[in-house]
Every structure is written in structure tokens, then in C-alpha cells.
């Protein structure tokens, strides 16, 4: 430890605007008064870019564990990396949680007595714990320049040594008081580093909630605790330990990428006299790449990683959540099929099943099955409202112009034992239903449909088929009578029934695949049918 005078000089540089004594912070945030079974869970995204779907996956898991135990779910924004922070990202995180109905009990905009919930607003508290470590001799200032650190790493790589700031590579760990005083006098910037007492040659044991008993090397890395920039903010290591202690987090769930840091976080907790947390490391969402290999869903490579991809495509939020729950628990799909009318919140997430979910794989085809099934389950009124809400422009105007007609359009083949499951995304609604409305049919379907689906039919044959149909078409005919007339007309034109129906279908809808043609005509009405077949 340093002399009181030198320690105060270090603190003055470390916290020029002051700090909150550790005791004051712990008095401010008392132990939560919850039942023994209640879990306090948190998700701590960083505002350094778009919101990753993995954040929603983690949020869903933590929210379920918290709320099904009668506990507390916290959204904490880890905005300590000011150099990488992207403007608008905090708002995007909050918006994504709202859209996915991940109702946090405490977080930005929801004070619960343990805030603030932006880490940048808790800087004085972290400095208080850093000062505590400094007084205990478990932290020290490191004035190593970026070039010094880069040179050490280069040497380690050349000698094939374990990389990191430890042992002889901890350049400022054992510097004398005189050397530190000189650096302070020269006004050199420094980071405050943790002084590890571990040895990489020794092992520690702990139990991971998902991985079971773990035996790993002790931590011997002297990691940075407080950064050297003008913000004097902590690194993740210190912020995690301080926040999860003060907020009373009962289980710390995080991605596998943090597994190597667990020994460090255990030692850091112990150096502060705190009981180490109950950690659970789960596998992140994976994807099959173009070479057939499995890898982590990447922010840089995969558009599906961005929450906005899912929102803009118009996948129903509840369907996406159902799919993610299926990734987390293998028994969810059976529960979902057996309980079509139950809320997803009634599903009890199992930690044992989550532990067995190794490298959950993003399967877009399966996701679309969930989405189609969800949309098909909706009541007619909910389906109508969802279509209206998702639509825009000319399509929205057409839908709202005649609600009675729109209800008829959207009701086609949605009932019975096998309702149609055409839609997996709300953004597909215009393509599925737009042709029912004249203003859209004429601009988006009519000519394109003929070119794509009737290019093999002679114009005279097409015209004759339409005229013949209009000569016998009576909207009041039952479907069986209508079909018999169709067969007779096809025979008279020397066409197969399939080709005859294709001509009518394309001229009416601009599409080659649609719901039942008879049902379409019934909804369109005689005037619209006659107008389209007469062209």
C-alpha cells in the first residue's frame, strides 16, 4: 500500500470531481425485502450500436425467471464506453423492450429505489469502491502508454506466451512510490488497475447454474477498473460487481463469452468482501453460415442480428417471442401447441431445459411456421386490426375506405379445421390482399400478373374464356353448380379446367396462387368481376 499522502494524490487525480463513500452507497441501497424464492434478474445492454436480437433473447429469459418467481426484472444500461456509444442507442434499447413487451420493473423511466439505471450516472459510486480497493492495496495506478502495452503483447505473441497484463507483464504493479510520484508530477494519464493475488497455476471451483461444477485457473490478470479518459468511468468488471451487489441481483445470466472472466469477477467480489454471484452462462444464438458451419449470430455479417430486421419485416412480436422461448426450452413447442389460447407469460421457463439448450440455432423457416400459426390463430377482429395497424400509404387507405368489404376480404378461408396460413409477416399483407382493391390491382398486379402467368396463352383464347365465363356467371350459384359450368366452358374452349381457372384467376387477381377462386369472386362481387374480366 502507498503512504496516505501518495494515496490522496492518486485519488485526487482519479476522482477530481469527488466520489461517494462505499458506506454511503450501501446505506442508500438496503437489502430488498422479497420472499426467499423471488429472483432479482437484470439485462445490461450497451448502447454501442443496433439492438441485437440476442439482447431480446436474454431479456426474455431474465424477465420470465424474475416474474414467474415473484421477483424483480431490471433493465440497466451499460453506457460506460463513451467512445463507442452511438447516439440514439439508449432510446432504441428502451423502445425494443417496449415493443417486445419485456416489462422491466426497474430501469430507465421506472425508478425502483435502486437507480439510476444508466451506469454513466453512477460514476461517483464506482469511484468509491475503486478508492476502497486502493486503500486496501488491491488497486494501483498504471501509467503504461498504449505503445508500452502493444510492445508487451507483441513480445508475448512472438514467444507464444499467454497474453495479458500479469506477472512480469504487469508493468506498473511493483513501481516504487517515487516512480508513481514522478508520473503524477508529469501529469501522465493512468488507469486504475486491480491488483490480483491469484496464480494461474492454481485452480478454483464454483458452480455455474447452467454448466454445473466448474474448475478453472485462478485469475492473475491486473485488469483496468477505472479508465483514464475524462469521464473517469469504470470498466465492465468493476461496474458489474458493484451494480449487481447494490441492486441485489440474485442470479447473473450472461453469454458464454464472459465465462473466461468469471474467475476474475469472483476474485474482485472477494477483494471487496462480497459473496460471489450465482453465475449462469448460456449459449448465444447461432446460425449456419454459407459454408455449412455453425457460428455465433454476428452483428457485422447477419442482418437477422438486428432487432430492426424483425420489426421492419413485420414478424408478429408474439410469434418471435414464442420462437425464442422454443430456443430456450425444448418443451415449449409442445406446450404452445397444446395451449393455443394461453398467454406466453403462463409458460414456466425451466433452468434445466435452458442448460440443455446448447448453441440454439436460428432457423428462419421454423420461425415463419410460428408466425404463420400465430397469425392464423388470431380472431377475425384482431387480425383485421393488426393488418390495418401494419399497413401504410395507398394500401392503408384502401383498407380503411370500406371496412365492411375489407372484413370480407380478410375473412376468406380463415375458419374451419385447416385455415390458410399464407402470412408470416405483416409486411406480406399487401401482396396477399392488395389485388382486392382496384387502385392497387391496376398499378401493382394487373399487367405484371398477365406477363408472368399468362404469357403462354393466346390473347384470343384468353378473351374467349373470359367472355364465356361472363355469359353464364351468376353470383348466387352454389359452388358445385359454378364448378360444373366452369368445366363445361373449359371443354368448349378445348382447355383443361386448370388452365381455364388460371386465366380467370390471373385476370381477377394478377396472381397464379390465391385462396379459393369461387370465394374470391363472391367477395369481389359481380361488378368488380365483370370489370376485370372484360379488359
Separation in Å, CA 92 to CA 23, 55, 115, 183, 502 = 35, 12, 20, 42, 47
CB 53 within 8 A of CB 306: yes
What pLDDT is stored for residue 288 in this prediction? 87
What pLDDT is stored for residue 205 in this prediction? 97
CA atoms of 356 and 347, how far apart (whole Å): 18
**Cis omega before residue 25 (within 30°)?**
no
Strand partners, 205: 215
pLDDT at 394 exceeding the cut of 90? yes
pLDDT, tens digit, for every residue of 38-82? 999 999 999 999 999 999 999 999 999 999 999 999 999 999 999
pLDDT, tens digit, for every residue of 85-107? 999 999 999 999 999 999 999 99
- Where residue 416 falls among pLDDT bands split at 50, 70, 90? confident
What pLDDT is stored for residue 415 in this prediction? 87
* DSSP SS3 for 205: strand
Is the domain of 394 the same as that of 270?
no
Is the domain of 277 the same as that of 396?
no
Of the three residues 282, 302, 325, the one that is the final residue of a domain is 282
Q: What is the mean pLDDT of the chain?
A: 96
Q: Is residue 366 in a domain?
A: no
* DSSP SS3 for 362: coil
- Where residue 290 falls among pLDDT bands split at 50, 70, 90? confident
Is the domain of 15 the same as that of 154?
yes
- Look at the chain and report how many structural domains it folds into: 2
Angle at 321 between CA 119 and CA 248, to 5 degrees: 35
pLDDT, tens digit, for every residue of 447-480? 999 999 999 999 999 999 999 999 999 999 999 9
Question: How many CA atoms, within 13 angstroms, populate the side-chain half-sphere of residue 18?
Answer: 2
CA atoms of 507 and 167, how far apart (whole Å): 79
Of the three residues 249, 282, 315, the one that is the final residue of a domain is 282
- Where residue 357 falls among pLDDT bands split at 50, 70, 90? confident
CB 510 within 8 A of CB 532: no
Quickly tell me which residue has 503524477 as its cell.
184
Q: Is residue 225 in a domain?
A: yes
* CATH number of 248's domain: 3.40.50.620
Quickly tell me which residue has 506466451 as its cell.
161
pLDDT, tens digit, for every residue of 479-525? 999 999 999 999 999 999 999 999 999 999 999 999 999 999 999 99
CA atoms of 233 and 509, how far apart (whole Å): 61
Q: What does pTM read for this prediction? A: 0.91
- Where residue 535 falls among pLDDT bands split at 50, 70, 90? confident
Separation in Å, CA 283 to CA 104, 210, 328, 331, 356 = 23, 10, 10, 18, 10
pLDDT, tens digit, for every residue of 115-131? 999 999 999 999 999 99
Which of the two residues, 29 and 535, has the higher pLDDT score? 29
- Where residue 359 falls among pLDDT bands split at 50, 70, 90? confident
* Owning domain of residue 522: 390-533
Is the domain of 276 the same as that of 398?
no
Q: Is residue 190 in a domain?
A: yes
- Where residue 294 falls among pLDDT bands split at 50, 70, 90? confident
Is the domain of 420 the same as that of 276?
no
pLDDT at 228 exceeding the cut of 90? yes
Nearest to 107 by CA among 73, 57, 59, 142: 73
pLDDT, tens digit, for every residue of 300-353? 889 999 999 999 999 999 999 999 999 999 999 999 999 998 999 999 999 999
Phi–psi pair at 142, nearest 5 degrees: -120, 115
Is the domain of 140 the same as that of 266?
yes
Amino acid at each position: 500500500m502507498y503512504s496516505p499522502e501518495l494515496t490522496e494524490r492518486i485519488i485526487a487525480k482519479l476522482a477530481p470531481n469527488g466520489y461517494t463513500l462505499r458506506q454511503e452507497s450501501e446505506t442508500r441501497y438496503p437489502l430488498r425485502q422479497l420472499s426467499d424464492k423471488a429472483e432479482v434478474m437484470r439485462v445490461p445492454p450497451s448502447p454501442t450500436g443496433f439492438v441485437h436480437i440476442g439482447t431480446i433473447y436474454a431479456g426474455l429469459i431474465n424477465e420470465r425467471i424474475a416474474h414467474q418467481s415473484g421477483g424483480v426484472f431490471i433493465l440497466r444500461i451499460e453506457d460506460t464506453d463513451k467512445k463507442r456509444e452511438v447516439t440514439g442507442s439508449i432510446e432504441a434499447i428502451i423502445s425494443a423492450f417496449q415493443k417486445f413487451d419485456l416489462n422491466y420493473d426497474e430501469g430507465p423511466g421506472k425508478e425502483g429505489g435502486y437507480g439510476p439505471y444508466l451506469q454513466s450516472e453512477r460514476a461517483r459510486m464506482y469511484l468509491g469502491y475503486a478508492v476502497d480497493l486502493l486503500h486496501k492495496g488491491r488497486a494501483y495506478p498504471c501509467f503504461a502508454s498504449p505503445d508500452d502495452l502493444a510492445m508487451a503483447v507483441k513480445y508475448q505473441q512472438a514467444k507464444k506466451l499467454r497474453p495479458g497484463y500479469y506477472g512480469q507483464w504487469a508493468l506498473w504493479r511493483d513501481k516504487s512510490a517515487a516512480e508513481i510520484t514522478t508520473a503524477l508530477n508529469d501529469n501522465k494519464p493512468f488507469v486504475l488497475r486491480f491488483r490480483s493475488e491469484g496464480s494461474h497455476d492454481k485452480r478454483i471451483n464454483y458452480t455455474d447454474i447452467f454448466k454445473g461444477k466448474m474448475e478453472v485457473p485462478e485469475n492473475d490478470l491486473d485488469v483496468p477498473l477505472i479508465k483514464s479518459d475524462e469521464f473517469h468511468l469504470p470498466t465492465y468488471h468493476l461496474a458489474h460487481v458493484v451494480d449487481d451487489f447494490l441492486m441485489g441481483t440474485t442470479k447473473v445470466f450472461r453469454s458464454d463469452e464472459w465465462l473466461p472472466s468469471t474467475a476474475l469477477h469472483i476474485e474482485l467480489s472477494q477483494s471487496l468482501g462480497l459473496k460471489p454471484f450465482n453465475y449462469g452462462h448460456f449459449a448465444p444464438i447461432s446460425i449456419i453460415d454459407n459454408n455449412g458451419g455453425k457460428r455465433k449470430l454476428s452483428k457485422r455479417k447477419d442482418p437477422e442480428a438486428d432487432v430492426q430486421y424483425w420489426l421492419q419485416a413485420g414478424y408478429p412480436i408474439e410469434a418471435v417471442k414464442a420462437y425464442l422461448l422454443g430456443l430456450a426450452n425444448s418443451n415449449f413447442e409442445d406446450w404452445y401447441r397444446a395451449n393455443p389460447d394461453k398467454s406466453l407469460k403462463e409458460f414456466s421457463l425451466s433452468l434445466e431445459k435452458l442448460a440443455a439448450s446448447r448453441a440454439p440455432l436460428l432457423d428462419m423457416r421454423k420461425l415463419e411456421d410460428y408466425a404463420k400459426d400465430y397469425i392464423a390463430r388470431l380472431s377475425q377482429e384482431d387480425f383485421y386490426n393488426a393488418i390495418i395497424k401494419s399497413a401504410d400509404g395507398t394500401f392503408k387507405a384502401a383498407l380503411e375506405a370500406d371496412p365492411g368489404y375489407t372484413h370480407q376480404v380478410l375473412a376468406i378461408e380463415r375458419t374451419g379445421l385447416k385455415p390458410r396460413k399464407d402470412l408470416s409477416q405483416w409486411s406480406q399483407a399487401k401482396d396477399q390482399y392488395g389485388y382486392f382493391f382496384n387502385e392497387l390491382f391496376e398499378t401493382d398486379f394487373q399487367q405484371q400478373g398477365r406477363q408472368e402467368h399468362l404469357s403462354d396463352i393466346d390473347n384470343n383464347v384468353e378473351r374467349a374464356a373470359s367472355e364465356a365465363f361472363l355469359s353464364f356467371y351468376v353470383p348466387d350459384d352454389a359452388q358445385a353448380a359454378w364448378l360444373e359450368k366452369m368445366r363445361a366452358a373449359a371443354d368448349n374452349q378445348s382447355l383443361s379446367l386448370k388452365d381455364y381457372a388460371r386465366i380467370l384467376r390471373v385476370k381477377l387477381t394478377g396472381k397464379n396462387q390465391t385462396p379459393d377462386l369461387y370465394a374470391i369472386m363472391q367477395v369481389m362481387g359481380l361488378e368488380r368481376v365483370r370489370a376485370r374480366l372484360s379488359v
